[in-house]
Structure 1
Amino acid sequence: MPVPTTIPLRCLVTGATGYLGGRLVPELLAAGYTVRCLVRDPGRLRDHPWRAQVETATGDVTRPDTLAGAFEGVDLAYYLVHSLGTGPGFEARDRAAAQAFGAAAERAGVRRIVYLGGLQPSDVPAERLSPHLRSRAEVGRILRESGVPTAELRAAVIIGSGSASFEMLRYLTERLPVMVTPSWVDTRIQPIAVRDVLRLLTGAARLPGDVNRTFDIGGPEILTYRQMMDRYARVAGLRRRVIVPVPVLTPRLSSHWVGLVTPVPGSLARPLVESLRHEVVCTEHDLARYLPDPPGAPIGFDESVRLALKRIRDAEVATRWSSASLPGAPSDPLPTDPDWAGGSLYQDIRERPVAASPAALWRVVEGIGGENGWYSFPLGWAARGLLDRLVGGVGLRRGRRDPDRLRVGDSLDFWRVEEIEPGRLLRLRAEMRLPGLAWLELSVGPYGDGGARYRQRALFHPHGLAGHAYWWAVAPFHAAVFGGMARNIARRACDSARAQSPSDRSHPGR
């Protein structure tokens, strides 16, 4: 069926501060649409890189009186909100919100609503569905009956960094080499990559005006949760997980178990776990009649996991961990993702003012390693280097190419220079043998009247249970190693400044 050439010019997006909404907005902008975001608190958009490119409407889908102005001039409205994990009464709130949204859209003459719902089991009566799936289906029905043509895209587990379902899968697999699990690990599921979800949500804007129905969307494979954990472990380079299902674990007990093992909040884990009791597999692929799959789509499970892990695989510190860059793909983490998204990243952060100019401090930072050493606990560094050599690593013997200058790609003892911004930032990636990936980031900035501020971050992304154990085993030494490093780098810069300007005593941080 041909795709209409007329596309909506103005989109309203709800849920723009959430997981999918925050990733959909730049896709719509790239497609040439004008975007307006409906949010309760506009301040929550300030960290999004696309903030200046969108309009903002303040409103709440649970308060009908706040919605009218948001729909003015809108051709297409995306409904991406749901009361997942907000306690008793959420079904009634979702019902009222959908009714208010549909009525406001109909009064404003909106041409289409696009809603992302949950894939429904084909053989389970509505009364036996989990409250989460039942509510998602009811919201879709309300929107389809609103008088505005609605495309309801129904997805199961979405594979992408930041998705609650994917984060639960990630943490369970990475943290537990041996698992005693509920019986739902053998439930069949049709997962879908977040890139495909966003492609289809964006493409739904071009559906013919009379289309008012549900569409099942999923990836090319049907897997059990056990198979997904096995496949995740293989892609992530982990050993095969030992999984022992225990049928007596109820959804409530399962959610407590998930909350204990993972940082995913229990209020989110419980509805997700309850939904996993049901087999959720696509029964049709009708959306392809309107939006044909491009080459390479839909993305398979292994590739979707690789994309979700790509930032770590490429040894890039993800955007939510560093302000040095912006996300480049829908599968990348966002600064606004919740703290538990994106996998574990342990940090040790030290900051201090320095009674020296930024230039003097930078000279010390750029001269680190080699003959100058690491400015703290020399015996500890030497022992770590020796241990690394004993297990086949590079140890500390490489030194550095130049005593005064560094460039990207230089080896520096058992580190490698990953990024350098002269006068401002030095980021080192560890090449020692570790059960994970590690970085050391040293940055310099101005402070006060001619002084400098030194900031130091040690970051560690653990690989499996051994990685978590390693971090906590060495954590007691961080005060001596990293705290001493920050103090001594600052002291060296101060000494250098005093040697050059002995009369200068006005800088802060002395």
Structure 2
Amino acid sequence: MDSPLCLVTGATGYLGGRLVPELLAAGYRVRCMARTPDKLRDHPWADRVEIVRADALDPTEVRRALDGVDVAYYLIHALGSGPRFADTDRETARTFAAAAEDAGVGRLVYLGGLGPAAGSAARDSSPHLRSRAEVGEILLACPVPTAVLRAAVIIGSGSASFEMLRYLTERLPVMVTPRWVSSRIQPIAVRDVLHYLVGCVALPPEVDRAFDIGGPDVLTYERMMQRYAAVAGLRKRRLLPVPMLTPSLSSHWVGLVTPVPGALARPLVESLRSEVVCHEHDIVRWIPDPPDGLTGFDRALELALKRIRDADVATRWSSAALPGAPSDPLPTDPDWSGGSLYEDVREAEPAASQAAVWRVIEGIGGDNGWHSWPLAWSVRGALDRIMGGVGLRRGRRDPHHLRVGDSLDFWRVEEVVPGELLRLRAEMRLPGLAWLEFTLSSEGGRTHYRQRALFHPRGLLGHAYWWAVFPFHGIVFGGMRKGIARAAEQSGRAAPGSAGRPAR
């Protein structure tokens, strides 16, 4: 007997893109519905699922996508699409519910928003939360058994709510705060959300209701920011309450200091004026909590930031990176998610063979120098020594060869792929994390050189540091690119016929 066929809508979004591999790992067949299927091609699981094109507002296309489906996940939201997003949400939900009934779908699963309890508080909640609640009611009203999971802030890299928390905390050591920072919130780790979503496949047909889902901790937004600062290694944030700061003004403020789009920031901020905590935990009767228990807030933060803590940021922001856990980022996450990362990229096509250029790269540092403005490197090393760092005194283990783990002046060799890649992690005193990466490739007899400096700032001081040293990048990093290319060309080992192109 075939395993259940699950349709995932919103597979190009935050939750959908993480749900698909979890369903596959559980042994279920998966079909993805997308208005633009090409957006799914970069996912590592794309060749293991069926992908159908459908506009969620087109009844005929939606009905075709639902044909033969056992469980359909409704993960579509018009949040951020404009002031009439609630009308779009309502129409889309009605279209999907009718098509699911006509197709004989066995179950619908919807992830909604956790809002206030019924009564005046619910009526006074934000348009965003009211729309989420209305969509849940529309799906529950259709004859298809439906499970509506209601969650508050989801903690995971790429979640809009989490990214807003990240940027506000990292960028503002002192901030004026509106009343909503005192609202009580019950956040939940993305891994626990996915645990419940996958578990819904096995719910019996008689289960047709909504469930509140949340983590084990209830905190104010202010406390969430302070806990984030502690886990991220930042100083305690100073918050100055300003009661007259309205949600509308707050959303403009959030848009000013974070890269979260204003169309998303406003409804998210408006939602925070309501208390969002679980009123029941009935779901455990059918779907047990994870074997190791629900993830606490601090642990969820650690998981969301673990790539940074593991010093793997260079691949964390690579389009080729494959996530190892639901809390990891995806290549298709929005550009504004994932925290701040500054990048300086320099490229060249030196008139030298790839092997000749690699010899220069592998010999960099120590007595061999850095092929750019020696005075700048000496001054930076001296400043690092004054601040208690290692400076340039460590040199290098071997004058010609490097291996993973080697110290290299105030860098550490993090990755070596002979002839192709060298990645160094900074161990100097910095208000953040820094990497220097060299990659080589060849095509058509030409050697392509790419040099990348990455900096992940820690707090406002980290951002200030990057912009303070930015004017010198052209001399230091631009000079390094030119110096390495020149040294390789002068080595006398350039491949015949590799004329190369000028550095750019």
Q: 1:53 aligns with which of 27, 48, 53?
A: 48
Aligned partners of 2:319, 2:348: CA distance in 1, in Å?
Answer: 19
1:114-153 correspondence to structure 2 within 5 Å: 114-122=109-117, 124-125=119-120, 126-153=122-149
CA deviation profile, 1:325-351 (whole Å, cap 9, x unmatched):
421111011111111111111110111
* 1:453 matches 2:448: yes
* 1:310 matches 2:306: yes
Q: CA deviation at 1:319?
A: 4.5
1:186-335 correspondence to structure 2 within 5 Å: 186-317=182-313, 319-323=315-319, 325-335=321-331
Aligned 8 A contact 1:319 1:333 in 2: no
Q: 1:13 aligns with which of 8, 17, 20?
A: 8
* 1:76 matches 2:71: yes
Aligned partners of 1:364, 1:109: CA distance in 2, in Å?
Answer: 65
Equivalent position of 2:500 in the other structure: 508
Aligned partners of 1:362, 1:500: CA distance in 2, in Å?
Answer: 11
Give the unaligned 5+ runs of structure 2. none
CA shift in 2, pair 1:319/1:29, >3 Å: farther
CA shift in 2, pair 1:123/1:452, >3 Å: same
Aligned partners of 2:193, 2:49: CA distance in 1, in Å?
Answer: 21
Aligned partners of 1:421, 1:445: CA distance in 2, in Å?
Answer: 12
Aligned partners of 2:232, 2:2: CA distance in 1, in Å?
Answer: 40
* 1:44 matches 2:39: yes
Equivalent position of 1:444 in the other structure: 440
Equivalent position of 1:367 in the other structure: 363
* 1:376 matches 2:368: no
Q: CA deviation at 1:56?
A: 0.4
Q: 1:27 aligns with which of 11, 18, 22?
A: 22
CA shift in 2, pair 1:58/1:443, >3 Å: same
Greater displacement, 315-324 / 133-142: 315-324
Q: 2:106 aligns with which of 111, 117, 127?
A: 111
Q: Secondary structure at the match of 1:288?
A: helix
Q: 2:487 aligns with which of 483, 492, 500?
A: 492
CA shift in 2, pair 1:341/1:7, >3 Å: farther
Please tell me the residue identity of whatever aligns with 2:59: P
CA shift in 2, pair 1:211/1:99, >3 Å: same
Q: CA deviation at 1:505?
A: 5.0
* 1:86 matches 2:81: yes
1:384-403 correspondence to structure 2 within 5 Å: 384-403=380-399
Give the unaligned 5+ runs of structure 1. 1-5
Aligned partners of 1:27, 1:185: CA distance in 2, in Å?
Answer: 34
Q: CA deviation at 1:244?
A: 1.2
Please tell me the residue identity of whatever aligns with 2:176: V
Q: CA deviation at 1:68?
A: 2.1
CA deviation profile, 1:421-476 (whole Å, cap 9, x unmatched):
1111100000001111100010000033x220000110011111111111111011
Aligned 8 A contact 2:353 2:494 in 1: no
Please tell me the residue identity of whatever aligns with 1:433: R
CA deviation profile, 1:53-99 (whole Å, cap 9, x unmatched):
11100001122222122112211100111011111211111111001
Q: Secondary structure at the match of 2:87?
A: helix
Aligned partners of 1:271, 1:8: CA distance in 2, in Å?
Answer: 39
Q: CA deviation at 1:209?
A: 1.2
CA shift in 2, pair 1:84/1:180, >3 Å: same
Aligned 8 A contact 1:8 1:205 in 2: no
CA deviation profile, 1:240-297 (whole Å, cap 9, x unmatched):
1111111111111100000011111111000000000100110000000111113332
Please tell me the residue identity of whatever aligns with 1:500: R
Aligned partners of 2:58, 2:314: CA distance in 1, in Å?
Answer: 36
Aligned 8 A contact 2:349 2:501 in 1: yes
Q: 1:155 aligns with which of 151, 154, 179?
A: 151
Q: CA deviation at 1:318?
A: 5.8
Aligned 8 A contact 1:319 1:327 in 2: no
Aligned residues: 501
Q: Secondary structure at the match of 2:313?
A: coil
1:150-189 correspondence to structure 2 within 5 Å: 150-189=146-185
Aligned 8 A contact 2:59 2:96 in 1: yes
Aligned 8 A contact 1:456 1:486 in 2: yes
* 1:481 matches 2:449: no
Runs of at least 4 residues off by over 3 Å: 123-127
Aligned partners of 1:123, 1:214: CA distance in 2, in Å?
Answer: 13
Aligned partners of 1:377, 1:81: CA distance in 2, in Å?
Answer: 54
Q: Secondary structure at the match of 1:507?
A: coil
Please tell me the residue identity of whatever aligns with 2:94: Q
CA shift in 2, pair 1:318/1:374, >3 Å: closer
TM-score (norm 1): 0.96
Please tell me the residue identity of whatever aligns with 2:488: A
CA deviation profile, 1:339-370 (whole Å, cap 9, x unmatched):
11111111101112122111111111111111
